[in-house]
Structure 1
Amino acid sequence: MTTDALLPALTLRVREAAHARAPVCPCQAAAAPGDTTLADRPDGTVVRHAGTVAKAHAADADAAELAGRVTVAARLPGVLLPPLRPSPVALHGRLVTYWPYGTPVDPEDPDAAPWEAAAALLARLHRTAAPTAVPPMRGPAKAAHAVARLRTTAPHHPATAPVLRAWTALPAWARGEAAVPDAAGLCHGDFHLGQLVRHPSPDGSWLLIDVDDLGTGAPAWDLARPAAWYACGLLPPEDWHRFLTAYRAAGGPAVPSNEDPWPALDVPARALTAQTAARAVTKAVEAGRLLDEVEQSLVDACSRMSSVSPSAPHG
């Protein structure tokens, strides 16, 4: 079923779910919006009605794996936003999950970005043994998919070669071609500030959302995107310091508590840089435009990476 056909059906379901949670229609309140499409992409269509959110996951989502990930969210309510229903349901060939609405990070107010809260949540997640069976986190597989799309979409673009050189220099596990070493704890798999919302409760706690990539893996992967942004000059040093300091203070196992963190972060940060650059080049080619300044900085970082071998461990 196409997204155009799916959206009305998903909207109807989220209305039903929202109205079932309250004796009076919650969208009648002035502060509670009616139907709002929060995302409409091949990897997920997300619709909100008042305080309820429904997500139709990617068409190729595995039912058993997604059910396990939703169960983890239900059992870790202080870390992950808990679902409103215990397991996914089918809707026109897509798996749908239901969640309470939470207020996201304001992208227009970078100074208020909750780096400390994010770091503490990740540290707690990384210290937690999976409460139920879950597959490996999907970070490396998603990075490999982005690079494969680049090869197909823009094989002759001048930015493609440096991205591919940086990618092929990575160890097999970071390219999704081998098991991740020492993958015992839980990882989010796709962490960035867009994966945080304030809990819809009086204390307004921040929680992690989006369990599609959750699983066991190398905890350093969840620190890799901020690390990559910092290394590329896209994240101010003070924000990176806030994030890393808070993660260490919370006992996060991804990096040593007092030693240089980069031997642990280097390979995942390189992988995330190559993934983000691959996506940037692909989007630019598909839109028929030149790379912008940020996109070019990612490609330039890939060029620099190619001249220096990845660090150990996991190398």
Structure 2
Amino acid sequence: METGKALVQELAGVARRAAHPRGPARAGCPACGRVAPAVLADRADGTVVRHGHAVAKAHAPGTDDAAHRTRLAVAAHPRLSGILLPPLPVSAAEVRGRPVTAWPYGTPVDPTDPDAAPWEEAATLLARLHAVPPAELPGPLPPMRGPAKAALAVARMRAAGPHPAAAPVLAAWARLPPWARAEPEPPDPPLTALCHGDLHLGQLVRHPAATGPWLLIDVDDLGLGDPAWDLARPAAWYAAGLLAPDVWARFLGAYRAAGGPAVPPDGDPWPRLDVPARALTVQTAALAVAKSRAEHRDLDDVELAVVEACTRIATLLPELDPDCTS
């Protein structure tokens, strides 16, 4: 997706005003002399532009206004202090028909230094998030959008056209219970915990930048749901052989040590993690197939690994798969 220059300029203006809320840009601002704004992300679900100490985000077209406002109110609530990065006041709530928010700039996880990845910090933040009583927060809280995003990924793969890897992904998708496919049935387990909805290492930043503690960002999928979903991506990577066992053990151990409610405090966590991990495996594989089709290339080794994991999911014996609906 290529960002329009006009959208970038308008977002840069929102970020600039958020960075300098008391008037004109102060002398020495490192961003005010830049020729072009810094585009940090440009995807269908959001465009993010940085100016100095602030960033502005244009959220996805069609964002639900009421749910969006509630999610922002939760991020700004004192109960989430030290867990979620709080938003900044903005001069415009909409740009080119898309909701816009402003946030402090934080230092992201360094993708070139995997040994320094903050897995324990991420797990601890999740445990703290899941422990916040929803009744103490602004509402009504919308559902966490994790299952909906998995369904969108499968729809995107289908729309991309035929692909030899699509069959095992769709077969694995069919083995999931309705609630994990975002189908309109009562979820099991019930939606009882505040969840992030799209946890990965790209959803953490240090704030204040470079020296501050790690905080969770991106509340677009935040809401009530099964907290196991927030552990599902690292669980799926571990099951597919993409996350080292010791890293998974550190992540799970930190979550348990912080009192996270998604899994029992000891013993086998997989009865709680199995369905969400399978759903995230399908989501990851579906996006990989769609992207490879759009880019006219073969699947890479990581993408092949998640597709192969879907093949294993699709061939589970029914007696070993209590959630099988076929």
Q: Would you call these one fold, judging by a TM-score over 0.5?
A: yes
Match of 1:139 in 2: 146
Match of 1:56 in 2: 58
Q: Which moved more, 1:96-105 or 1:22-31?
A: 22-31
Please report how far the alpha carbon of residue 116 of structure 1 lies from its aligned counterpart in structure 2 after TM superposition.
0.7
Q: Distance in 2 between matches of 1:305 and 1:206?
A: 34
Structure 2 counterpart SS, 1:38: strand
Q: Distance in 1 between matches of 2:191 and 2:324?
A: 11
Match of 1:73 in 2: 75
Q: Distance in 2 between matches of 1:311 and 1:93?
A: 45
Structure 2 counterpart SS, 1:197: strand
Equivalent residue pairs, number: 313
Q: Distance in 2 between matches of 1:262 and 1:86?
A: 43
Please report how far the alpha carbon of residue 16 of structure 1 lies from its aligned counterpart in structure 2 after TM superposition.
2.2
Match of 1:231 in 2: 239
Please report how far the alpha carbon of residue 87 of structure 1 lies from its aligned counterpart in structure 2 after TM superposition.
10
Please report how far the alpha carbon of residue 275 of structure 1 lies from its aligned counterpart in structure 2 after TM superposition.
0.5
Counterpart among 183, 186, 189 of residue 179 in structure 1: 186
Structure 2 counterpart SS, 1:291: coil
Match of 1:204 in 2: 212
Please report how far the alpha carbon of residue 21 of structure 1 lies from its aligned counterpart in structure 2 after TM superposition.
5.2
Q: State whether residues 27 and 50 of structure 1, in contact with CA within 8 Å, keep that contact through their aligned partners in structure 2.
A: no
Matched, 1:10 2:18: no
Match of 1:129 in 2: 133
Match of 1:153 in 2: 160
Structure 1 regions of 5+ residues with no counterpart?
A: none
Identity among equivalent pairs (%): 60
Distance 1:142 1:21, change over 3 A: farther
Counterpart among 240, 251, 259 of residue 267 in structure 2: 259
| CA RMSD, 1 decimal | 2.4
Q: Distance in 2 between matches of 1:234 and 1:269?
A: 13
Matched, 1:91 2:87: no
Q: State whether residues 266 and 311 of structure 1, in contact with CA within 8 Å, keep that contact through their aligned partners in structure 2.
A: no
Letter in 2 for 1:196: L
Q: State whether residues 145 and 221 of structure 2, in contact with CA within 8 Å, keep that contact through their aligned partners in structure 1.
A: yes
Counterpart among 123, 127, 145 of residue 119 in structure 1: 123
Residues 41-80 of structure 1 show CA distances to partners (whole Å, capped at 9, x for unaligned) of: 1110101100011100001111111110011111112110
Please report how far the alpha carbon of residue 270 of structure 1 lies from its aligned counterpart in structure 2 after TM superposition.
0.3
Distance 1:30 1:93, change over 3 A: closer
Please report how far the alpha carbon of residue 26 of structure 1 lies from its aligned counterpart in structure 2 after TM superposition.
6.3
Residues 266-310 of structure 1 show CA distances to partners (whole Å, capped at 9, x for unaligned) of: 000000000000000000000001111111111100001112257
Please report how far the alpha carbon of residue 28 of structure 1 lies from its aligned counterpart in structure 2 after TM superposition.
3.0
Q: Which moved more, 1:88-97 or 1:253-262?
A: 88-97
Distance 1:60 1:283, change over 3 A: same
Q: State whether residues 27 and 49 of structure 1, in contact with CA within 8 Å, keep that contact through their aligned partners in structure 2.
A: no
Q: State whether residues 71 and 86 of structure 1, in contact with CA within 8 Å, keep that contact through their aligned partners in structure 2.
A: no
Letter in 2 for 1:188: H
Structure 2 regions of 5+ residues with no counterpart?
A: none
Match of 2:176 in 1: 170
TM-score by length of 2: 0.90
Q: Which moved more, 1:172-181 or 1:50-59?
A: 172-181
